[in-house]
């Protein structure tokens, strides 16, 4: 019996960057439609049990109520609060219940929350957020088919996945938090609306992913040095008025000129210290960690990030094995 989990964040794609930038609103009815296609793809590949995170909108419940599939779809037994911690708790419970794959609908922040609750189960991140460096832009039907192929052991995990790195936040040598894409030092003492858009307050950036075609803070590093999701290294940047000019899309429709005065590649295990305290760290695009004065706070890249199910690799593996057509 194949069991797959679905975590659909009802709050993704709706933060303040719709006001201060030009991000699209990703409404929950569209998420219902995506999940409906995911469910159909899962069922068609042979998945017979699907658990999901309960949420205030009822995304998965609405999606499953309008289709007929040969799978038992049921919610996890916990009380959702509508906060980020719901995704973390759902991931923890799914891991305990033995799901073979977790499909995540959200942006970088949602996937970070899932990674905090799950250390072993492969995740398939489907983009429905604001900053979408970590998740894939993929059609729901194909996402469901890919997850179903893995769950039903019709393709081998090693051929269709990769192990992502992660960024660890340490306080006095102890790991306190993590990020999947970027950490920025934001010269403020309040998390506020959480989203980051005022580059004048950003002094340090630590990236374990950087691509020239990214959106968000990682796009700054992408104009200097590309870092792939599987590379065991990171890129460290210091911003300052006398640095080199970089033009980057730091949010949807928001293109900023920033000045990078120092840059270097950081290897696995090497720590970078946060110089200014008190301040706030932006983790994967959201101000979410307060740095206290008098405590040594550092960042380092670690190899043991989440295992990511790559949709393209999965479908190619199925094609080579003749799972859905003639064997080559």
What are the chain's domains? 3-164+306-321 (3.40.50), 166-302 (2.60.200)
Q: Is residue 283 predicted with pLDDT exceeding 50?
A: yes
Q: How confident is the model at residue 200 (pLDDT cuts 50, 70, 90)?
A: confident
DSSP designation for 25 = P
68-72, 175-179, 197-201: least confident range: 197-201
Q: How confident is the model at residue 24 (pLDDT cuts 50, 70, 90)?
A: low
pLDDT value for 193: 52
Distance CA 298, CA 127 (A): 30
| pTM of the model as a whole | 0.92
Q: How confident is the model at residue 20 (pLDDT cuts 50, 70, 90)?
A: very low
Indicate the burial class of 283 (C-beta count within 10 angstroms; 0-12, 13-18, 19 or more): buried
Model pLDDT for residues 55-96, shown as the tens digit of each residue:
999 999 999 998 999 999 999 999 999 899 999 999 999 999
Distance CA 277, CA 291 (A): 6
pLDDT value for 16: 45
φ, ψ at 267 (rounded to 5°): -90, 165
Say which residue, 277 or 164, is predicted with more confidence.
Answer: 164
Distance CA 46, CA 218 (A): 38
Q: What is the β-pairing status of strands 3-8 and 101-106? A: parallel
Classify residue 216 as left (phi > 0), alpha (psi -120 to 50) or beta. left
């Amino acid at each position: 019996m194949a069991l797959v989990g679905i975590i659909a964040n009802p709050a993704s794609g709706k933060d303040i960057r719709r006001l201060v930038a030009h991000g699209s609103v990703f409404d929950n009815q569209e998420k219902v439609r995506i999940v409906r296609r995911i469910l159909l793809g899962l069922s068609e590949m042979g998945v017979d049990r699907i658990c999901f995170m309960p949420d205030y909108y009822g995304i998965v419940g609405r999606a499953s109520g309008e289709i007929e599939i040969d799978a038992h779809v049921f919610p996890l037994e916990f009380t959702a609060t509508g906060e980020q911690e719901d995704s973390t708790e759902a991931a923890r419970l799914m891991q305990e219940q033995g799901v073979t794959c977790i499909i995540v609908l959200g942006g970088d922040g949602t996937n970070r929350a899932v990674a905090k609750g799950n250390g072993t189960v492969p995740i398939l991140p489907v983009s429905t957020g604001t900053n979408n460096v970590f998740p894939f832009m993929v059609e729901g039907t194909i996402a469901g088919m890919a997850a179903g192929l893995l769950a039903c052991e019709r393709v081998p995990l090693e051929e269709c996945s990769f192990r992502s790195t992660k960024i660890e936040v340490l306080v006095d040598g102890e790991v306190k938090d993590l990020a999947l894409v970027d950490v920025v030092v934001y010269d403020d003492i309040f998390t506020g609306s959480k989203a980051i858009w005022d580059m004048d307050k950003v002094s340090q950036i630590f990236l374990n992913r950087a691509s020239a075609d990214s959106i968000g803070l990682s796009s700054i590093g992408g104009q200097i040095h590309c870092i792939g999701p599987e590379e065991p290294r990171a890129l460290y940047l210091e911003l300052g008025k006398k640095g080199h000019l970089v033009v980057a899309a730091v949010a949807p429709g928001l293109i900023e000129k920033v000045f990078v005065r120092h840059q270097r590649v950081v290897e696995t295990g090497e720590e970078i210290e946060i110089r200014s305290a008190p301040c706030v760290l932006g983790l994967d695009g959201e101000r979410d960690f307060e740095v206290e004065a008098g405590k040594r706070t550092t960042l380092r890249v670690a190899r043991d990030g989440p295992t990511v199910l790559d949709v393209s690799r999965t479908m190619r593996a199925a094609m080579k094995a003749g799972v859905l057509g003639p064997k080559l």
